[in-house]
């Protein structure tokens, strides 16, 4: 079998950055480059694999047992974040890590600092894969892709290992929130699935934010500032009022755990016209709805003050907390915990302060918790991946497959 590191390095060498400004899917044609490579690799293993017009790769490994076993799927996304370049990634391999700072780029004085990232210390003696300080690494989620592909190759190389139907999917555009827009759950054919898209070793998530976007347009009145008294309505000032009217401690930089927030992600314009974009997040549905209502009340109050309908607000729900859809099938979470224990990994069950493809898939009828792929510091130049964590992710996949077989044997 090929070394999992070799796989990962081959995948991150392909630029698959998605583009949130493009409404097409996939949002960038270059995502097909990796999908076609993965398709060829799967076919070389004797596995049927298809890439469709939307950039989804789906593959299937047929059951090799005559017993009835639930079909399970494993999913990862191929795109990398628009937040940081994914072109010409030059990974650095730090073997037998000594627990000290890692110089990513001496020329630019870019340091992966233990003081800033103290979780590095837990990987003393491990092999750390880092960036060169000029791009992201792509462990989100090419570590997940590599872990799945390594597990698939292991199954194909060991046909004596019994398993039910195994489904594989690699999705585009997860980073721009459209990873499941055209995902055909019925075609995929799994009863349950796991996304391999979490962070550090042991992460297991089946709760995520309820999410919405809020787009605001403000129309002001531009008057020469020398003659503006009682006439000018400065749209920029109104935008500041809107932001100041929202709870100041309910912003990302002041929240953690289950705490929700309002996050201003874009502000542009001039005196007469301004646009604002927010994201709204909360794990609790009641609190989530209250946040949207608060945003509407702020806009309504300012429209009353400034007259007319100068401020327009459009709120659009993005995804919901998958807990509601996964908990009725909690045995799939229990299997993931047990699989980690069998692989010597402590399961760290916690809510996602974000979302995954698994959230929307769960609402499409495919219960889908999220499992670690091993990386840290996603979406930027400080991203790194302990090699052993990615290897453990692959082991956990194989252990989950065996637990589904064991469940069937116990029933019979």
Whether 101 and 113 have beta carbons less than 8 Å apart is answered as yes
The yes-or-no answer on residue 2 being catalytic is no
- Long-range pairs for 236-241: beta carbons < 8 A, 24 or more residues apart: 236/269, 236/270, 236/271, 236/274, 238/274, 238/302, 238/306, 238/310, 238/311, 239/267, 239/269, 239/274, 239/276, 241/302
Q: How far apart are CA 273 and CA 306, in angstroms?
A: 14
The residue whose two tokens read 């347009």 is: 217
Query: Which of 15, 41, 79, 357 is flagged as catalytic?
Result: 79
- Asked if omega into 141 is within 30° of 0 (cis), the reply is yes
Catalytic, out of 173, 174, 207, 282: 174
CA-CA distance, 132 to 89, in Å (whole number)? 8
Is 23 annotated as catalytic? no
Instruction: Tell me the C-alpha distance between 88 and 192, whole Å.
Output: 36
* Gap between the Cα atoms of 38 and 42, Å rounded: 6
Rounded Cα gap, residues 5 and 297, in angstroms: 52
Catalytic residue numbers, as ranges: 79, 174
């Amino acid at each position: 079998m090929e070394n999992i590191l070799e796989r990962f390095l081959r995948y991150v060498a392909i630029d698959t950055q998605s583009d949130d400004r493009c409404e097409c899917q996939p949002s960038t044609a270059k995502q097909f480059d990796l999908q076609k490579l993965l398709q060829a690799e799967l076919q070389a293993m004797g596995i049927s694999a298809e890439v469709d017009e939307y950039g989804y790769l789906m593959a299937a490994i047929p059951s090799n047992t005559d017993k009835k076993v639930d079909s399970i799927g494993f999913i990862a996304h191929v795109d990398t974040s628009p937040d940081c370049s994914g072109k010409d990634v030059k990974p650095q391999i730090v073997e037998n890590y000594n627990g000290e700072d890692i110089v990513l780029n001496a020329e630019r004085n870019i340091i992966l600092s233990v003081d800033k990232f103290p979780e590095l210390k837990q990987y003393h003696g491990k092999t750390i894969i880092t960036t060169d300080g000029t791009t992201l690494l792509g462990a989100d989620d090419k570590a997940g892709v590599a872990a799945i592909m390594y597990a698939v190759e292991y199954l194909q190389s060991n046909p004596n290992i019994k398993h039910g139907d195994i489904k594989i999917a690699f999705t585009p555009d997860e980073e721009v929130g459209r990873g499941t827009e055209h995902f055909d759950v019925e075609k995929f054919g799994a009863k349950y699935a796991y996304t391999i898209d979490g962070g550090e070793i042991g992460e297991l998530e089946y709760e995520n934010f309820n999410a919405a976007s809020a787009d605001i347009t403000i129309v002001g009145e531009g008057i020469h500032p020398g003659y503006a008294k009682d006439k000018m309505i400065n749209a920029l000032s109104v935008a500041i009022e809107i932001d100041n009217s929202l709870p100041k401690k309910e912003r990302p930089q002041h929240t953690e755990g289950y705490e929700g927030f309002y996050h201003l992600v874009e502000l542009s314009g001039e005196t007469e016209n301004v646009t604002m974009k927010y994201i709204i997040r909360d794990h609790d549905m009641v609190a989530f709805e209250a946040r949207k209502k608060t945003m509407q009340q702020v806009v309504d109050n300012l429209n009353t003050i400034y007259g007319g309908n100068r401020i327009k607000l459009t709120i659009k729900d993005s995804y919901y907390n998958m807990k509601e859809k996964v908990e009725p099938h909690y045995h799939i979470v229990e299997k993931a915990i047990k699989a980690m224990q069998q692989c010597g990994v402590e399961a760290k069950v916690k809510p996602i302060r974000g979302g995954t493809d698994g959230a929307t898939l769960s609402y499409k009828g495919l219960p889908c918790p999220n499992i670690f792929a091993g990386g840290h510091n996603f979406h930027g130049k400080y991203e790194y991946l302990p090699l052993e964590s990615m290897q453990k992710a692959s082991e956990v996949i194989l252990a989950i497959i065996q637990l589904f077989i064991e469940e069937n044997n116990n029933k019979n």
